[in-house]
């Protein structure tokens, strides 16, 4: 059995050679996580698509009920919609789908664009900026906080708590951040309950208070925490990875500058090429499952890896090449697949498109201000994203 690929710090700097060797061993492979737990890692494209719709459970509560983890994660973070199965999942998702449809997102485009313009408006040509700190970080958190109705003064705390939540391995930091974030959201819910506004959070409180059968108090809290966290960490990584890939491919960058109408389809190839959610969230097999002829034993955690599936040569020829004209790029699995497919995909796509458009318009000559080996990647199994991205304007 293969040993855990996630234990080696080098994995976080460049995952793709590891993904390729795991896939070569088997696209559905058993690995030993920590000596005690055996997990199934899915790295093939067809296999990942199948795994996303297989009878695997997302119910972490049921998994850990028999296997005490010794953790003290706040329940509103531990048990979100992303950790439920139908029928709960169906009921919860239905409450929030309307807020994230492509037409709702189109209404938000002018706001997102003005935010991006405002952030880059402070930059001087010829200087150096940190694209993560100065743009890719603040933009998505501001957008999702605006939607949910989180006051501007609290947005930097939200950002730092959610960054901590993705710090794989640092349990103390993750658990502390989960309590801080859930405590903050519980207070905000209380405030909005007494003075409702036009935010999504006030809408959810109204659902809860008018019909407790549709949304419990725990679900109200966990759903708002999920939207807040899922809505920006991933997009920050998506913007950073897309800009980095373009700076490393000047011909493609120049092509987009002269043909900005190609930006929307380019975003799909950029999401395929360096997927921000590299390893999807926790799933497990309540019963033995067959995945493309490989057996997933009952009780096995299953790590489906969009980052690996999107580099599967059987689906994407010459997968390590960034090809903005790739015909099937939009079939990437960067947003997952099946019933848990990313709720915020249209919003995330729009944010990346708008940021690229604004950057290319204002700073067409921008360049990477660090070599590839100086770049520091986040130590997160789930999110593949940069800690910082120095760019000369």
| Residues forming the site for ligand HEM (CB under 6 A) | 81-82, 93, 144, 226-227, 230-231, 234-235, 238, 276-277, 280-281, 306, 334-336, 340, 342-344, 347-348
* Residue 227 CB, nearest approach to ligand HEM (Å): 5
**Shortest-Cβ-distance residue relative to ligand HEM:** 344
* Residue 281 CB, nearest approach to ligand HEM (Å): 4
Which tokens belong to 115?
């935010």
* Residue 347 CB, nearest approach to ligand HEM (Å): 4
3-state secondary structure of 228: helix
> Nearer to ligand HEM by C-beta: 174 or 393?
174
> Nearer to ligand HEM by C-beta: 225 or 393?
225
Residue carrying the six token digits 């059968």: 213
> Nearer to ligand HEM by C-beta: 144 or 220?
144
> Nearer to ligand HEM by C-beta: 306 or 393?
306
> Nearer to ligand HEM by C-beta: 18 or 234?
234
* Residue 255 CB, nearest approach to ligand HEM (Å): 22
* Residue 368 CB, nearest approach to ligand HEM (Å): 21
The Cα-based distances of 202 to 92, 107, 153, 196 in angstroms read: 16, 19, 19, 6
> Nearer to ligand HEM by C-beta: 49 or 74?
49
Q: With contact defined as beta carbons under 8 Å apart, do 346 and 356 qualify?
A: no
d(CA 272, CA 316): 9
Contacts 24+ apart (CB under 8 A), 184-192: 184/154, 184/157, 184/158, 185/76, 185/221, 185/224, 185/225, 185/228, 186/76, 186/221, 188/149, 188/150, 188/224, 189/220, 189/221, 189/224, 192/149
Nearest to 93 by CA among 387, 343, 372: 343
* Residue 4 CB, nearest approach to ligand HEM (Å): 19
């Amino acid at each position: 059995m293969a040993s855990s690929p996630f234990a080696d710090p080098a994995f976080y700097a460049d995952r793709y050679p590891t993904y390729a060797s795991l896939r070569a061993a088997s696209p559905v492979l058993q690995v030993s996580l920590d000596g005690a737990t055996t997990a199934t890692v899915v790295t093939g494209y067809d296999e990942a698509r199948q795994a996303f719709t297989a009878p695997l459970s997302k119910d972490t509560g049921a998994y850990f009920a028999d296997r005490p983890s010794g953790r003290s994660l706040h329940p509103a973070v531990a048990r979100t919609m992303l950790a439920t199965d139908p029928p709960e999942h169906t009921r919860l998702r239905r409450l929030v789908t309307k807020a994230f449809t492509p037409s709702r997102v189109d209404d938000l485009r002018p706001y997102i664009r003005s935010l991006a313009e405002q952030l880059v408006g402070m930059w001087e040509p010829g200087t150096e900026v940190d694209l993560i700190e100065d743009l890719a970080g603040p933009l998505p958190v501001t957008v999702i906080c605006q939607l949910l109705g989180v006051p501007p003064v609290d947005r930097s705390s939200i950002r730092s708590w959610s960054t901590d939540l993705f710090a794989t391995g640092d349990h103390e930091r993750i658990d502390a951040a989960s309590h801080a974030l859930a405590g903050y959201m519980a207070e905000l819910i209380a405030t909005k309950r007494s003075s409702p506004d036009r935010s999504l959070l006030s809408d959810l409180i109204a659902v809860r208070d008018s019909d407790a059968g549709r949304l419990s108090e725990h679900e109200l809290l966990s759903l708002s925490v999920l939207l807040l966290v899922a809505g920006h960490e991933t997009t920050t990584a998506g913007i950073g990875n897309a800009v980095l890939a373009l700076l490393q491919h000047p011909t493609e960058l120049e092509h987009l500058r002269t043909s900005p109408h190609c930006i929307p389809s380019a975003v799909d190839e950029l999401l395929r090429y360096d997927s921000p959610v590299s390893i999807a969230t926790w799933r497990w097999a309540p019963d033995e499952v067959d995945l493309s002829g490989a057996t997933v034993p009952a009780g096995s955690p299953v790590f489906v890896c969009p980052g690996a599936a999107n580099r599967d040569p059987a689906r994407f020829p010459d997968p390590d090449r960034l090809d903005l004209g790739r015909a099937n790029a939009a079939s990437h699995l960067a947003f997952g697949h099946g019933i848990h497919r990313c709720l915020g995909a249209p919003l995330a796509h729009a944010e990346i498109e708008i940021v690229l458009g604004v950057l290319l318009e204002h700073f067409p000559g921008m360049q990477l201000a660090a070599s590839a080996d100086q770049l520091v990647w986040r130590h997160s199994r789930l999110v593949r994203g940069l800690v910082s991205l120095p760019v000369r304007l």
